[in-house]
Amino acid sequence: MATSQCGIPAQLPADEVTRQQVLESFRILDSLPEQSYDDIVTLAAHICAVPIALISLIDSERQWFKAKVGLDAPQTPREQAFCAHAILNPSDIMEVPDAKLDPRFANNPLVTGEPGIRFYAGAPLVTPFGSALGTLCIIDRVPRRLTPPMAKALKALARQVVRLLELRRALAELETLTQAQQERQQQLEATQKRLDQVISELAQQTMTDSLTGLKNRRAFDQILKEDSSRMVRTHSSLALILLDIDDFKAFNDEFGHVSGDEALQQLARVLQSQARAYDRVARYGGEEFAIVLPDTSMAEALCMAERIRQEVQDADWPNRPVTVSLGVAVASTAADCLSLVARADKVLYQAKETGRNCVVCDNSVA
C-alpha cells in the first residue's frame, strides 16, 4: 500500500456502509459536550496516566471528538486518524508504542506536528451488532506501553461509552415516539373537536325548525321536560303560551304557500323579539307556536301574551293583517306539569272559538 504525507491510510471496514448508517442513527455527530462523556475521557487519562484522551467517532471524511481532554481540536481528517486503523479490528485494542517507528504513522502530521503523538492506544467502540463506530483512545507524547490493568480499564470504559450511546439513541427514539404520540393525540383531539362540532350541529338541526329557525316540536318536548324538573326542584312556577295564526288555511288558499311560509317566518321574528332571554320559543306544529316561560306567574304570562297579540296585530304584514289567538296555562307542581300542554291547548281552542285575536287563560289550577 502506498505511503502518503499522512502515512499509510487505513482501509475501509468491510461493513463501512452499514457502519455509517449505524453511526448516523445515534445522532451524536456535532452534538454539544456532555458531562457523562467528558467524565469517561477524564477517567481514561487518569487511569492510564496520559495527557490526552479522546472519544473519537469515525465519519465518512473525518474523525470527530465527542469528548476530549488535553486536545483543543474538535476533529481531524479521517486520513490522519489513528482510530480509522483501530476500528478495522473491533475485537481488541490497537496499541502503537512508538508512532515514529510505525510505517503507518511515521509521516502523519499528528506525529510530526502537534500534538506530537508517539504513543497511542484505542479501544474500539463496538455496538451490540458488531459495528465499530470509533474508539476511546489515549495518547502520549513519549513512547510507552499499556499495562494489563490499563488495557482492561480502557476496554471497560469503551463499553461504557457504547452504553451511553445506546442510551442516547433510546432516549432520542423515545422522544421521537413521544412527539409522534403527542402529535397523534393533538390530531385525535382536533378530530374529536370537529366530530363534536358536527354532532352538535346535527343535533341542533334535529332540534330546529328549518323554516323559522325556532326550536321544533322535538326540542319543545325536551325543553318542557327540563324546565318542569327545574320548577319542581326550585319550587317556582312554569307558564306556557300556545298560539295559533287565525284563519291561516284561508291565508294560504288566498296568497299561496310561499306567502304563508313568509308569514310564519315574520311571526317567528315577532315572538323572538317579545320573549325574554330565558324564555324558549318553538314552532309547535303547522301554524301553532309555543312559548315556555320559566319562573313566571299567570299574571306575568297573561301580560306577555297580550303584548304578543298586540304586536302581531300591529305588525306590517305584506298581504293582509294577521292575528293570533293565544291560550295561557301555568303549573306550580309536578302534577300540574303533566297537564300543562293539554290545559294551554284547551284554552287556545276556546280563544279561537270565541272570536279569535284574543287571549284566554286556564283557571283550572289554583
pLDDT digits (tens, 9 = 90+) for 225-245: 999 999 999 999 999 999 999
Altogether, the residues listed in the chain come to a count of 366
- The rounded mean pLDDT for the chain is 93
Instruction: Pull the grid cell for residue 118.
Output: 508517539
Q: What is the pLDDT of residue 364?
A: 83
- Residue 1 above 60 pLDDT? no
Strand order in the sheet with 324-331: 280-285, 288-294, 238-245, 324-331, 359-361
Mapped onto helix, strand or coil, the DSSP state of residue 238 is strand
> What are the b/e assignments for 321-360, b being 16+ CB within 10 Å?
ebebbbbbbbbbeeebbeebbebbbbbbeebbeeeebbbb
347 phi, psi to nearest 5 deg: -75, -25
261 to 208, 256, 267, 313, 332: CA distances (angstroms) = 16, 9, 10, 18, 36
- Compute the radius of gyration of the chain from its Cα atoms: 45
Q: How far apart are CA 116 and CA 231, in angstroms?
A: 95
Positive or negative, the CA dihedral 151, 152, 154, 155 is positive
Contact criterion met (CB below 8 Å) for 323 and 313: yes
Which residues lie closer than 8 Å to 335 by C-beta, 6 or more apart? none
- Residue 338 above 60 pLDDT? yes
Question: Residue 135: beta bridge partners?
Answer: 56, 124
Q: How far apart are CA 255 and CA 242, in angstroms?
A: 25
Residues labelled as active-site residues: 287
Side-chain-side CA neighbours of 327 within 13 Å: the count stands at 23
Q: What is the pLDDT of residue 9?
A: 85
**If pLDDT is split at 50, 70 and 90, which confidence band does 197 have?**
confident
Contact criterion met (CB below 8 Å) for 106 and 8: no
Q: How many CB atoms lie within 10 A of CB 147?
A: 12
Domains recognised in the chain with CATH numbers: 16-175 (3.30.450.40), 217-361 (3.30.70.270)
Residue 208 DSSP one-character state: B
- Residue 32 above 70 pLDDT? yes
265 to 216, 253, 286: CA distances (angstroms) = 13, 18, 12
- Residue 202 above 90 pLDDT? no
pLDDT digits (tens, 9 = 90+) for 153-196: 999 999 999 999 999 888 888 888 888 899 999 999 988 998 88
Q: How far apart are CA 217 and CA 206, in angstroms?
A: 10
pLDDT digits (tens, 9 = 90+) for 70-107: 999 999 999 999 999 999 999 999 999 999 999 999 99
- Residue 137 above 80 pLDDT? yes
- Above pLDDT 90, what percent of the chain? 83
Beta-strand runs (E) in the chain: 52-58, 62-69, 75-77, 94-96, 119-126, 132-140, 238-245, 280-285, 288-294, 324-331, 359-361
- Residue 334 above 90 pLDDT? no
**If pLDDT is split at 50, 70 and 90, which confidence band does 5 have?**
low
